[in-house]
Amino acid sequence: MIRLRHALQLANTKLRSKRVLLFISIVISSILFAALIAAIILFTAAEKSAVNFVAKANNGVYRVEVAPVIPSSIYSRGFDLSIEDIRNIKAIEKQYYAEVAAKYAAAGVKYDATTEVPALMPSAFASETLPEEQRVRYNFASPVVQYEQNIRMAAYAKTAKNKLADLKLVGARYGATGYYEDSYFGTAQIPNMKVVKNGKEDFADNEAKHSNSMNESFSIHNGDYLIKDASLLTRYLLPIAEADKGKGIPVVVSAQEVAKLFGKDASIGEQPDTPKEKSAWLQSIQTKFAGYTYQACYRNAAEIEKIEMIQRDYATMTNNKDNKEYQAPALQYNLPTTACGDITVKQDTRSAAEKKITDQQLADQKKLGNYIEPRHQLLTFQIVGIVNLRPYSLYSANIGSYLENLLAADTFSSSAYIPKQLYEAIPDSLIPVNDTPTDQQEVVDIYATNGLMPHVLDFPTVTAARDFIANETCPSGDSSCKKLFTSTPYGSNYLLLDEIGKVFSKFMSYALPVVLGLAAIIIWFTMMRVMAENRKETAVYRAMGARRRDIMAIYLTYGMIIALRIAVFSLTLGVAAAFTIHSIYSPQLTDIAVASFGTITDGLQFNLFDISSPYMYFVLLSIFAVSFVAILQPLVRSVRRSPINDMRSD
Amino acid sequence: MENKATDQQIDEFLALFDSPLDAVRATADHIRNTWDQNSPTLQRPTPTTPLIISLDHVSKTYKVGKQRLKALDDVSLAIHAGEIVAITGKSGSGKSTLLQMIGCLDKPSSGTVLIDDKNPRKLSDNKLSLLRQRTIGFVFQSFYLQPFLKLDQNVAVPAMFARQPIRVMNDTVTSLLQQVGIDEHRKHFPKELSGGQTQRAAIARALVNQPKIILADEPTGNLDSVNSAAIIDLFKKIRSELGTTVIIVTHDHQIAQQADRIITLSDGAIA
C-alpha cells in the first residue's frame, strides 16, 4: 500500500480543490466544537472553584443534617380519631387530672375541678354518619393533649430504630463523623431579650418582628438565640484577639441586622447592591464587628407577662381617659425607666380582702411549685461570627444572585446562634439563669434524651454524602417517607453543585451528539463535493495501478488533515473564548462568591478557566472520529466507481 | 529481451524492499545503464518475440437505456512484445473500448483477453490493479498531471502506488526525466510547461514502474505537428531501448503511419 508520506503528499493536493467550501465547513465545524470546548472549560473551572469555596466553607467536610422519621401517628393530633383513640385519650385525661388533684391535695391546696379543660371537643367537621362518641377532635387548649402525646412519644422512643446509636451504625458505612446535635424546633434557648440601646430598653418597640425576605433578620431584636455546636458555625467565626475573648455571650449574627442595629457606630450603611460593594461591605463588617459587644435585657416569662399586662393596662387607661364609668385598676405599676431596671409599684389602692385573695393565690402557686418569680438580668453579648444572608429565590433573573444561591444555599435560619463550646467557656456571671418552666421543654427532652434529635453528620467526600442521602434517607419534609431518616444538605449547597454537574453531563449528552451530528453532516457534504470534483483524478490513479485501499488511504489522510485543522482551530477558538470570559467575569464572580459564603476566603479565586477536563480531550478525539465516519460513506462510494466511466466523461 | 520483466523478475524486484542499499543502488544503475547502452538490437521485433497481448473473439456490449450497444464485435488480435501498434478508426468505432480492454480497465462481454499471459476476467479488482501497476503505463490525451505536484513528484505517482523503495524511485524519476529531456523542469509545476513538455512528463510517469506495455490514448491530440513527431520519436526510442510494447490510439494517419502495424476499427470490428 501507498506510504503515509506519499498519501500525505497526494492528500495535500486535494486541499487545493473546493477551497471555499472547505474553508467554510472547517470554520463552521470549528465554531461548533469551540463552543463545546469553551463550555467544558468554563464549567469545569466553575465547578472546581465552587467546590473549593464549598470546601473552604465546610472545612473540607460535606455535611448532612439527618432527622429520624417519627411516624405521623406519634406526633400528629388528627381529627379522624378511632373509637380506641378516643377511649384511650379519655383514660389518659382521667389519669392526668387525678394526678393534678393528687398534687393539690399533697400541697394542701384546694383543687377546683371546674378549671379542668377537656381533652376532646365536638368536631364541626365530623361526618354525620359517625356515632356521637366519635364526632370529636382534640382540644388543643387542654394540657392533656401534650401530656398524651408525650406518653405516645415515650412509648415510641422505646422501640425506635432510628435513634442516634442506629444512625451511627448507618453513617459508619459512609465514613460519617461529627454527629453534632441540632434542634428540631428552632426554639430559642435564651428567649425574651430586649436590646439595650443608648442606655435604655424601648418598650414601645416591643413587638416581635418577622423578616419578609432572606435579606433581613430580626434575631437580635426578637431575642431569638439558638445554641448550636460550634463545629457547625466555624465558617462564620471571626478571628478575635485573645484578650478580647469571653467578654460576653458569644453570638453569630447576620451582617444585615448588625448593619441595621449598630452600623452607625462604625459608619456602615445598609447592604449595597453590586457584588463588589457587597463583598467589601461584608468584609468591613467582619473586620469592624469581630468581638463587638452589646447589651440586652433578659426578662423571664413571668416578668414579660407582667410587662405585657402593664402595657395593656396603660393602653386601656389611655383609651378610657374621658370615660366616667371606667374604673382604673387598683394596682398600677411603672415600666422600668433604666436599662434592665426594676418594675416599680405606681399605686396600690386594693382593699385588704382583695390583697388577701391575691396573696392566697400566690401562696398556693408556691406550694404547688408552679410559681416563678419575675426576674431580669442585664446580659452582655459578644459578636464572634457574622453570617451573610442571601436572597432566597432560586430563579433570579441576574446571574450573580443565581450564583449566590447556587454556592451558598445556607441552612442559616432567622435565628442568631450561640456557639455551644464558646458559650460553655465564658464565666458563669455572664450566663443567664434558665428558669423556663420544665413542662415547656418536655417534648424536646423526650427527643433529646432518646437520641431522636436531628444530628449533623460530616462526610469525607461529596460522593459519600450523596450516596448516604440517596440510599438511607428521604428528602426533608417528605411525608410519605418509607425510610428511617430524612435529610438535608447542611451548611452550603454542595449537593446542588453535584446536581449541576449532572445537569452538565446531561447537557453534554445532548450537545455532544448534536455538535458531532452537525459536524458529521458538514464534513460529509464537503467530502462528497471534493470527491466528486476529484473523480477523474481518482480514475487516473486507478488506471496507474492504485488499488482501492490506496485511494482510501489518500482520502482518509485527507480527512485526518481536515480533522486536525478543525481540532486546532476549535481548540484555539474555544480556549481563547473561555479565557476571555474568564478574564471578564472571574473577578466579579470572586466577589459574589466571597459575599455568598460570607467567610474569610484567603484570596480564594473563582476561576472560569480549567483545561483539565477529560471531556475536552474526548471532544478533540471525537473530531477525528466524526471526520473518519463522515468520510467513509462517500469514500466507499467513490472507490466502488468504475474508473472507466470517470475517464470517459472527458 | 532481458529488459522485459517476467513475473519472476517483478518478484525479485519487489524483494528489493528488504535488500541492502547496495542492491538498490545496483538496480537503479542497471536501469540507467540500460538507457545509456542505446542497444540497436531492438529496432524492430521479430515475429518470434512472445505474445504480450492477445484478444480472442472479444466482444463488448454496453447497455444504453434499453438499447444494447455493441462497442466491440468479435475482435481478435495478437500483439508481440516490442511492437508499436497504432489503433485507428472514426470516433465511435470502438477504439477507446479496445484500449480499455487492453488496459485492464474493462472486461469483455465475451471472448478472452490475455495481457502478459494473464486473463483480467479472472482477476480480483486488487490483482487487476497490480497488473495495471506492473505491466501497463498509461498516456492520456489531456495528460492528467496533478496540477499541484511538481514534475518529479508527478512522475513518481505510479511508483508511490507500487511502493518502490524511495531511493530507487528517486533515481528512476531522475533518469526518466533526463531521457524524456525535461530534467531541468523537474521542480516546475505542470502549468509552467508547454504541451509537449507536459506530455513528455506524462510519458516518463507511464514508464516509472517499468511497464511492458504503454497505452497511449490520442497522445498527440493536443499537440502541434512538431511536438507530435517528437513524441512519436520518443515512443520509438523507448521501444528500442526498453523493448516496451507501445499501443497508440489515434485518428491521425500521419501518426499511425509511424507504427509497425495499424489496426483500423470500424463499428467495433477490425476493418
**pLDDT tens figures, A132-178:** 888 888 888 888 888 888 888 888 888 999 999 999 999 999 999 99
Residue B41 confidence (pLDDT): 41
Residue A273 within a domain? no
**B120 contacts in A (CB within 8 Å)?**
none
Residues A511 and A631 grouped into a single domain: yes
Burial class (CB in 10 A: 0-12, 13-18, 19+), B67: exposed
CATH-assigned architecture of domain B7-48+81-107+122-270? 3-Layer(aba) Sandwich (3.40)
pLDDT at A330 over 60: yes
User: Which of the listed residues A351, A368, A385 is the one where a domain comes to its end?
Assistant: A368
% of chain B exceeding 70 in pLDDT: 83
CATH code (residue A451)? 3.30.70.330
Residue A269 within a domain? no
Segments forming the whole domain that contains residue A349 = 301-368
Residues A102 and A126 grouped into a single domain: yes
Residue A640 confidence (pLDDT): 86
> What span, in angstroms and rounded, lies between the C-alpha atoms of B99 and B251?
14
User: Which of the listed residues A319, A339, A368 is the one where a domain comes to its end?
Assistant: A368
Please list the ranges in chain B whose pLDDT falls under 50. Answer: 1-2, 36-43
The residue to which cell 495535500 is assigned: A12
Q: Give domain limits for chain B.
A: 7-48+81-107+122-270
Residue A199 within a domain? no
pTM over 0.95, yes/no: no
Contact A13 B149 (CB under 8 A): yes
**Mean pLDDT score, A640-644:** 81
Residue A481 confidence (pLDDT): 82
Residues A510 and A556 grouped into a single domain: yes
A&B contacts, CB < 8 Å = 78
Left (φ > 0), alpha (ψ -120 to 50) or beta: where does A224 sit?
beta
Q: Which of these, A584, A592, A559, lies nearest to A405 by C-alpha position?
A: A592
pLDDT bracket for residue A53 (50, 70, 90): confident
Residues A485 and A518 grouped into a single domain: no
User: Which of the listed residues A424, A458, A491 is the one where a domain comes to its end?
Assistant: A491
Contact A541 B157 (CB under 8 A): yes
- The H or E element spanning position B249 is strand B245-249
As given in the structure block, the three cell numbers for residue A457 are 453528620
> Average model confidence (pLDDT) for chain A?
84
Residue A198 within a domain? no
% of chain A exceeding 70 in pLDDT: 88
Q: Helix, strand, or coil here: A198? A: coil
Minimal CA separation from B124 to chain A, in Å: 11
| DSSP summary character for residue A201 | -
Residues A511 and A644 grouped into a single domain: yes
Residue A187 confidence (pLDDT): 53
Residue B215 confidence (pLDDT): 94
Residue A136 within a domain? yes
Q: Which of these, A194, A187, A206, A178, lies nearest to A413 by C-alpha position?
A: A187
As given in the structure block, the three cell numbers for residue B71 are 462497442
Residues A524 and A614 grouped into a single domain: yes
Q: Is the ipTM beyond the 0.90 threshold?
A: no
Residue A237 confidence (pLDDT): 87
Residues A486 and A506 grouped into a single domain: no
Residue A155 within a domain? yes
pLDDT at A377 over 50: yes
> What span, in angstroms and rounded, lies between the C-alpha atoms of A234 and A251?
12
Contact B161 A550 (CB under 8 A): yes
> Average model confidence (pLDDT) for chain B?
85
Say if A503 is an interface residue toward chain B (CB within 8 Å): no
Residue B34 confidence (pLDDT): 57
Residues A91 and A111 grouped into a single domain: yes
Domain count, chain A: 4
Residues A518 and A611 grouped into a single domain: yes
Q: What pLDDT digit, counting tens, does each position of B99-153 carry?
A: 888 998 888 999 999 999 999 888 898 999 999 999 999 998 888 999 999 999 9
**A536 contacts in B (CB within 8 Å)?**
144
Cβ burial A296-324 (10 Å sphere, 16+ → b, else e): bbbbbbebbeebeebeebeeeeeeeeeee
Residues A470 and A509 grouped into a single domain: no
Residue A151 within a domain? yes
In a mutational test of the B interface, the residue from A1, A6, A10, A544 whose CB has the highest number of chain B CBs within 10 Å is A544
> What residues contact residue B19 under an 8 Å CB cut-off, 6+ apart?
none
**Mean pLDDT score, A574-600:** 83
